[in-house]
Structure formats: structure tokens, C-alpha cells
Amino acid sequence: MEHNATTLSTHEHYDPVGAKLGMWLFIFTEMLLFGALFIVYSVYRYRHPVEFHLANQELNVTIGFINTVILLISSATVAMSITAMQKGNKKLTMIFLLITLLLAVVFLINKYFEWGAKIHHGIYPGSEFLLSLSHGDILFFGLYFFMTGLHAIHIIVGMVILIWVFVRVKQGRVNINRYALLENGGLYWHLVDLIWIFLFPLFYLIH
């Protein structure tokens, strides 16, 4: 829209399928980003099965379970906000988006306490205590902090996107006729959920 002459093409041009395709392609890159980490995880777990098993006992299944449920609910609310938009209910759309954001905050608070407890016990990347443990422990906790940390960053990015979508909905620029942005925000949020679906059993449920 920088060019006057292109205004007519870019402004009138609205291609929801194209926008969604772009978002999906971006999601593919995110999948492979985490995909690479899952490869690292599986290789090191394959090489240190016993240590991974023992280190896993340190993690709190209850918090992990609660966070999983929180993310699943937030995924559902985002999906419902799209339904609300498709039915033309702007207010309900915004309420669902707010609930989603709220759940995201709760997730991060849980994460904060979970990490805090670990760090309090001297378990964090590069800590003296951790380095005194076995190789498998070092790798397990290294991966744990790195992968859940990266996931948390994605939660924050997702929240920023959803806030932006919220503002656009409020302004009416995202409306029943053009809501590709809302759909894309939703897609990104589901991706965050999707990754957690795998992180949860791989880190919390090795028995």
C-alpha cells in the first residue's frame, strides 16, 4: 500500500485462501523447528534411557497435566471465537479471545512456578549441581528448559498476535466478511497447543 497506484490492487485484494496458505506454510517451518528438537530429544533419550527415566521423576505430572488441559481449553475457545465471528457475533468473539488470553497467562504463571522450583533446587542449564550429575541428566534438563522455554516464547508470540487480532476485531476491521486474520491467529494458537501435546508425554510421562 506504499504506492498510490497499487492501492487499488492491494486494498481491494482480499484472498483468504492465500492468507491461510501463507499461515500454514509458516506453521510448517515452526513444526520443523520443533521437529529438529524432537530429533535431538529422541537421539539422546535413545542413548541415555535410564537417566532420562530417572530425571523425569523430578518433573511434576500434576502441573504438566493442568497446563495441558489449560492449553486444550484455550484452543477450544479460540476455535469458538471463529465460530462466533462466522455467526456475526462480535461481542462473543471478543469474549472468547479474552478467555484464551487469560488461559495463556495462567499457563505462563504455572510455568513460572514450575521453573522456579527447579531453579531453586539448583537445576538449571549450566548450574554446578546439574553438571555434577550424569550426562543423561544434563541433556534431559538442558532439553527440558530449552524446549519448554522455546514453547513459552511461542505462547508469548501467540498472545501478541491474539491481542492484535482482538484490537482489529474491536475496530471492526476484522469482521464477518473478512476474518482471515482471526483464522490465522487461531491457527498459530493451535500450533502452540499441538507442540505441547507432544512435549507433555515426552517430558512428564516417562515411566
Give the integer Cα–Cα distance in Å for 46 and 55: 14
**Closest approach of Cβ 73 to other proteins, in Å?**
6
Q: Buried (b) or exposed (e) across 135-158, using 16+ Cβ within 10 A?
A: ebbbbbbbbbbebbeebbebbeeb
Q: Which of 63, 99, 117, 206 binds other proteins (CB under 8 A)?
A: 206
* DSSP letter string, 4-17: TTTHHHHHH---HH
Q: Between residue 87 and residue 126, which ones bind other proteins under the rule CB under 8 A?
A: 87, 125-126
C-alpha cell of 73? 481449553
Q: Which of 94, 138, 169, 182 binds other proteins (CB under 8 A)?
A: 138
Q: Which of 105, 112, 119, 135 binds other proteins (CB under 8 A)?
A: 135
**Closest approach of Cβ 206 to other proteins, in Å?**
7
Q: Between residue 8 and residue 27, which ones bind other proteins under the rule CB under 8 A?
A: 9-10, 15, 17-18, 20-22, 24-26
| 80 near other proteins (CB under 8 A) | yes
| 176 near other proteins (CB under 8 A) | no
C-alpha cell of 72? 486444550
| 29 near other proteins (CB under 8 A) | yes
Q: Between residue 139 and residue 158, which ones bind other proteins under the rule CB under 8 A?
A: 139, 142-143, 145-146, 150
Q: Which long-range contacts (CB under 8 A, 24 or more apart) does 14-17 make?
A: 14/178, 14/180, 16/178, 16/180, 16/183
